């Protein structure tokens, strides 16, 4: 085992030891921090660990309600109304916790990737930057001018997306590309359908947290890598520059964090990069 992997294994063991000594209210604080800073607080499933500690059914309900309140209070444009719910709150709390806490980083990564890999969306966004005067650019590395602008202006383009009137249902549609959805997404959509959740601008809340997060630069860098692999490199190769495309260098985001989840859970959000050919029919 390499020294890096040994160190990661030791860190993971230390985290697990600390969590084993954690009480219910401390887990609730971890959940609160994770919901407050979903892009910078890791992806440990504190909700499931907390529920395992609680044996009393009524107490489980109470802590599920507290988790729902934490999420409701943290997102100004989200309204969670459980006043008419007469069933267990645990599944609802877990669904919202995974959406707004544990997995939000994955969801936002998937959303931006899919939104920009869509030809119509990308062309509409790039149209605002066509008047940029570029005397010359490394065509052998980027192929089309649009590819160069996409990489060069990626932060501005993300800011443009941030301002779009995107409803939470549309956000979810871009995150999930097949019918094998994670169970928490099904639960989230069920809450929307039953009017337990009201959307007054949830996308704005999510984007606000993303742009203020410490992980912003690393996530943008990861998005660049995926755009270069799926869009830029094929364009360069089509223009006959071939291996020159390999000179494009962007550092990847390290993500060696161990993640524990329910083995019976449906697969999580698919983070496999799409290829641009998958969207050629959009024109």
Mean pLDDT, residues 193-212: 97
pLDDT tens digits for 134-163?
A: 767 777 788 788 888 999 899 999 999 999
Residue-level pLDDT at 270: 59
Q: Where does the pLDDT of residue 275 fall: very low under 50, low under 70, confident under 90, or very high at 90 and above? A: very low
Q: Does 171 have pLDDT greater than 70?
A: yes
Q: Does 239 have pLDDT greater than 80?
A: no
Mean pLDDT, residues 226-231: 88
d(Cα 169, Cα 199) in Å, to the nearest integer?
Answer: 9
Residue 201 burial (C-beta neighbours within 10 Å; 0-12, 13-18, 19+):
middle
Sequence-ordered alpha helix ranges (H) in the chain: 3-20, 24-36, 46-53, 57-74, 90-97, 104-117, 119-126, 139-142, 145-152, 154-162, 168-175, 183-193, 202-212, 216-227, 233-238
Token pair 């009480």 in the structure block, residue: 23
Residue 235 burial (C-beta neighbours within 10 Å; 0-12, 13-18, 19+):
middle
pLDDT tens digits for 53-102?
A: 999 999 999 999 999 999 999 999 999 999 999 889 999 999 999 999 99
Q: Where does the pLDDT of residue 260 fall: very low under 50, low under 70, confident under 90, or very high at 90 and above? A: low
63 vs 129: which has the higher pLDDT: 63
Residue-level pLDDT at 233: 84
Mean pLDDT, residues 20-34: 88
SS3 80: strand
**53 in Cβ contact with 82 (< 8 Å):** no
Structure tokens at 231: 């869009």
Look up the pTM and report it: 0.81
Q: Does 8 have pLDDT greater than 70?
A: no
Q: Where does the pLDDT of residue 173 fall: very low under 50, low under 70, confident under 90, or very high at 90 and above? A: very high
């Amino acid at each position: 085992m390499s020294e890096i992997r040994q160190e990661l294994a030791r860190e993971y063991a230390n985290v697990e030891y600390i969590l084993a000594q954690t009480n219910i209210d401390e887990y609730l604080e971890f959940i609160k921090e994770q919901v407050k800073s979903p892009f910078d607080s890791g992806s440990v499933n504190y909700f499931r660990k907390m529920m395992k500690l609680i044996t009393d059914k009524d107490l489980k309900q109470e802590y599920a309600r507290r988790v729902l309140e934490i999420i409701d209070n943290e997102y100004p444009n989200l309204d969670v109304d459980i006043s008419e719910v007469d069933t267990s709150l645990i599944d609802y709390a877990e669904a919202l916790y995974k959406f707004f806490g544990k997995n939000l980083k994955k969801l936002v990564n998937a959303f931006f990737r899919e939104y920009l890999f869509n030809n119509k969306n990308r062309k509409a966004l790039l149209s605002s930057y066509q008047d940029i005067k570029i005397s010359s650019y490394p065509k052998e590395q980027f192929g089309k001018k649009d590819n160069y602008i996409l990489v060069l202006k990626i932060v501005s383009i993300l800011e443009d997306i941030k301002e779009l009137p995107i409803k939470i249902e549309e956000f979810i549609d871009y995150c999930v590309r097949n019918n094998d959805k994670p169970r928490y997404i099904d639960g989230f959509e069920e809450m929307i359908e039953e009017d337990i959740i009201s959307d007054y601008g949830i996308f704005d809340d999510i984007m606000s947290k993303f742009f203020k997060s410490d992980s912003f630069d690393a996530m943008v860098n990861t998005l660049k890598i995926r755009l270069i692999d799926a869009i830029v490199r094929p364009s360069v190769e089509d223009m006959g520059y071939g291996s020159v495309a390999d000179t494009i260098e962007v550092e990847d985001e390290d993500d060696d964090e161990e993640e524990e989840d329910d083995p019976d859970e449906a697969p999580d959000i698919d983070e496999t990069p799409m290829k641009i050919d998958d969207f050629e029919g959009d024109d």
